[in-house]
């Protein structure tokens, strides 16, 4: 097995380590097979990431082993870098590909597909691209996705915008729209949501914008892919499925399918049609019409913002981020709690210091009370009690955090595993034995305490 080889891109030799590594064990495809693919499509692949902060999704062993995600640029990065502010408000440097050589360097580092932000390094706060991610829900298939994509093309045309479609390489279709970079992430996300809702009205029963999975039926348009720090696999990336995320002409959508474009047969496709993203940079439009639809949704249909992912700060006008089946309405704790329903957080915090006594007090309160809630500030927290372990999920401007009290993680292997792997659906940032921030300036605080034996998992 060769330990390294070189490929040439733009007249520059690039070292490729472990070229015979079987990144796709079932198909037998190697790292060099993936590199050669990107050498052929380098022009088109670069168009999708040029000048954009790009996250690295690195498959260090194979597609059968979970990848490692690198948002921040490594020390002495060979790429240009740009400072980014993440949703947590923490700054960091991200890699910015500028050349075809940069594309191959990303593949050398274990990337199979590329994940750029929808902004350019010159202005990281104003996107120049809208991204529509269409995926089928259970009971629907790729044929339904094609139908929804055609409807989306018509909606975009009504708004004076041009959609550029491609297969996702997984289950659905992505439609990209270049725009003039004059609006921030909040506005572009709402613009995508407005277009998706318009399509939902035109195709009832086929298209859905429902954020909660239990309410989704049809082809889901994931508007939250346009939130800050969200990325979508770029054109010509090889997905873990072994299929290439492939741009196509609108005229051929009736014949398009995910499995039509495997890695080992893609060279023929590219040689035949070339780069179908050529011209996208010259097609930038404006989103005033979509923003008018945002206002119309509110005024005529009573539709404001839709839920954000859990790791994002609470946004004004956003509905509750509680799964519909888990909502609790008109909770009356007066009969279950000796404290009575009038017991407030101000009273509780006044009686307990923010140390061990605070946690002991919370546990005692949860033991004595039925479900209850209290509020102050903007942070939302869920307090879940199981045995003598208190697990706390806190959503604030810092993101979603786990916190544990009453016992060290090693005393409860199940929670320890959750903490260490971050596999719980609510995890964004993991912290152990850290008190929640209860400052009033953070806003609304809602605490839900449950009886003994309830776990905080779906």
Instruction: Return the minimum-mean-pLDDT range out of 216-220, 233-237, 357-361.
Output: 357-361
180 and 304: one domain? yes
pLDDT at 301 over 50: yes
Percent of the chain clearing pLDDT 70 (strictly above): 70
Q: CB–CB of 99/10 below 8 Å?
A: yes
- Answer with the one of 122, 147, 180 that is the final residue of a domain: 122
| Spatial separation of the C-alpha atoms in residues 387 and 458, rounded to whole Å | 18
Q: What is the pLDDT of residue 295?
A: 93
Q: What is the pLDDT of residue 311?
A: 75
221 and 182: one domain? yes
Has residue 317 been placed in a domain?
no
pLDDT tens for each residue of 102-157: 999 999 999 999 999 999 999 999 999 999 999 999 999 999 999 999 999 999 99
- pLDDT band at 327; cut points 50, 70, 90: low
Classify the C-alpha dihedral 92-221-321-359 as positive or negative: negative
Has residue 434 been placed in a domain?
yes
Q: Enumerate the β-bridge partners of residue 95.
A: 54, 81
Averaged pLDDT, 305-332: 72
Q: What is the pLDDT of residue 319?
A: 82
Q: What is the full DSSP assignment across 12-64?
A: EEEEEESTT-EEETTTTEEHHHHHHHHHHTHHHHHHHHTT--EEEEE-SS-TT
Has residue 323 been placed in a domain?
no
Has residue 377 been placed in a domain?
yes
Q: What is the pLDDT of residue 436?
A: 33
Has residue 216 been placed in a domain?
yes
233 and 86: one domain? no
202 and 336: one domain? no
Give the highest mean pLDDT range of 83-92, 208-217, 373-382.
208-217
82 and 197: one domain? no
Phi-psi region of 169 (alpha: psi -120 to 50; beta: other; left: phi over 0): left
Per-residue CA distances from 434 to 58, 146, 392 (Å) = 31, 48, 10
Has residue 106 been placed in a domain?
yes
Q: What is the pLDDT of residue 282?
A: 96
Q: Which residue has the higher pLDDT, 358 or 41?
A: 41
Has residue 318 been placed in a domain?
no
102 and 129: one domain? no
Tally the domains of the chain. Answer: 3
Q: CB–CB of 218/137 below 8 Å?
A: yes
Dmax (CA) for the chain in angstroms is 78
Q: What is the DSSP letter of 395?
A: E
Q: Which residue has the higher pLDDT, 285 or 428?
A: 285
Q: Enumerate the β-bridge partners of residue 429.
A: 401
pLDDT tens for each residue of 390-426: 344 333 333 333 333 333 333 333 332 232 333 332 2
Q: The domain that contains 129 carries what CATH number?
A: 3.90.920.10
- pLDDT band at 322; cut points 50, 70, 90: confident
- Answer with the one of 89, 122, 155 that is the final residue of a domain: 122
Instruction: Return the minimum-mean-pLDDT range out of 117-121, 226-230, 383-387, 423-427.
Output: 423-427
140 and 249: one domain? yes
| Spatial separation of the C-alpha atoms in residues 403 and 407, rounded to whole Å | 11
Classify the C-alpha dihedral 414-419-420-425 as positive or negative: positive
Has residue 458 been placed in a domain?
no
Q: What is the DSSP letter of 280?
A: G
150 and 230: one domain? yes
| Spatial separation of the C-alpha atoms in residues 131 and 249, rounded to whole Å | 17
Q: What is the pLDDT of residue 349?
A: 43
Percent of the chain clearing pLDDT 90 (strictly above): 64
Domain that holds residue 385: 328-442
- pLDDT band at 238; cut points 50, 70, 90: very high
147 and 258: one domain? yes
Say what the pTM is: 0.73
152 and 261: one domain? yes
pLDDT at 82 over 80: yes
Q: What is the DSSP letter of 437?
A: -
Instruction: Return the minimum-mean-pLDDT range out of 32-41, 71-80, 256-265, 316-325.
Output: 316-325
- Answer with the one of 68, 97, 122 that is the final residue of a domain: 122
159 and 296: one domain? yes
| Spatial separation of the C-alpha atoms in residues 103 and 42, rounded to whole Å | 7
| Spatial separation of the C-alpha atoms in residues 137 and 435, rounded to whole Å | 39
Which residues, in sequence order, are CB contacts of 351 under 8 Å at separation 6+? Answer: 361
Burial 68-102 (b: 16+ CB within 10 A, else e): eebbbbeeeeebbbbebeebbeeeebbbbbebbbb
Q: Where do we find the tokens 């009504």?
A: 158
Pair of tokens at residue 194: 């407005």
| R_g of the chain computed on alpha carbons | 25
166 and 305: one domain? yes
């Amino acid at each position: 097995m060769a330990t390294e080889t070189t490929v040439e891109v733009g007249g520059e030799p690039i070292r490729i380590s472990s070229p015979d590594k079987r990144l796709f064990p079932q198909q037998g495809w190697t790292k060099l097979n993936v590199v050669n693919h990107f050498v052929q499509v380098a022009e088109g692949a670069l168009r999708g990431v040029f000048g954009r902060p790009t996250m690295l999704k690195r498959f260090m062993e194979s597609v059968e082993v979970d990848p490692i995600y690198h948002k921040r640029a490594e020390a002495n990065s060979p790429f240009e870098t740009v400072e980014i502010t993440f949703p947590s408000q923490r700054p960091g440097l991200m890699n910015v590909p500028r050349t075809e050589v940069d594309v191959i360097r990303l593949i050398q580092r274990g990337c199979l597909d590329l994940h750029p932000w929808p902004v350019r390094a010159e202005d990281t706060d104003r996107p120049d691209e809208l991204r529509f991610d269409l995926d089928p829900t259970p009971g629907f298939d790729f044929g339904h996705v094609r139908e929804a994509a055609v409807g989306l093309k018509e909606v975009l045309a009504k708004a004076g915008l041009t959609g550029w479609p491609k297969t996702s390489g997984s289950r659905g279709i992505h439609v990209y729209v270049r725009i003039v970079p004059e609006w921030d992430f909040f506005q572009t996300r709402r613009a995508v949501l407005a277009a998706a809702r318009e399509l939902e009205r035109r195709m009832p029963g086929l298209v859905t914008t429902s954020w909660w999975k239990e309410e989704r039926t049809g082809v889901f348009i994931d508007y939250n892919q346009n939130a800050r720090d969200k990325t979508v696999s770029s054109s010509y990336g090889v997905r873990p499925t072994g299929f290439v995320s492939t741009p196509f002409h609108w005229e051929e959508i009736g014949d398009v399918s995910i499995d039509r474009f495997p890695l080992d047969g893609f060279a023929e496709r590219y040689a035949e049609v070339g780069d179908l993203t050529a011209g996208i940079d010259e097609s930038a439009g404006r989103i005033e019409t979509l923003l008018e639809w945002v206002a119309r949704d509110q005024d005529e249909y009573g539709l404001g913002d839709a839920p954000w992912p859990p790791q994002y700060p609470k946004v004004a006008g956003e509905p509750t981020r509680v799964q519909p089946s888990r909502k609790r309405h008109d909770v009356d704790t007066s009969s279950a709690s000796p404290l009575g329903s009038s017991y407030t957080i101000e009273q509780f915090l006044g009686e307990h210091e923010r140390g061990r006594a605070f946690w002991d007090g919370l546990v005692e309160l949860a033991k004595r009370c039925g479900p209850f809630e209290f509020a102050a500030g903007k942070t939302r927290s869920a307090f879940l009690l199981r045995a003598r372990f208190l697990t706390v999920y806190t959503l604030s401007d810092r993101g979603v955090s786990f916190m544990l009290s009453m016992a060290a993680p090693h005393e409860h292997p199940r929670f320890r595993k959750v903490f260490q792997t971050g596999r719980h659906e609510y995890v964004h940032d993991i912290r152990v034995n850290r008190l929640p921030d209860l400052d009033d300036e953070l806003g609304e605080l809602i605490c839900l305490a449950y009886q003994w034996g309830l776990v905080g998992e779906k």
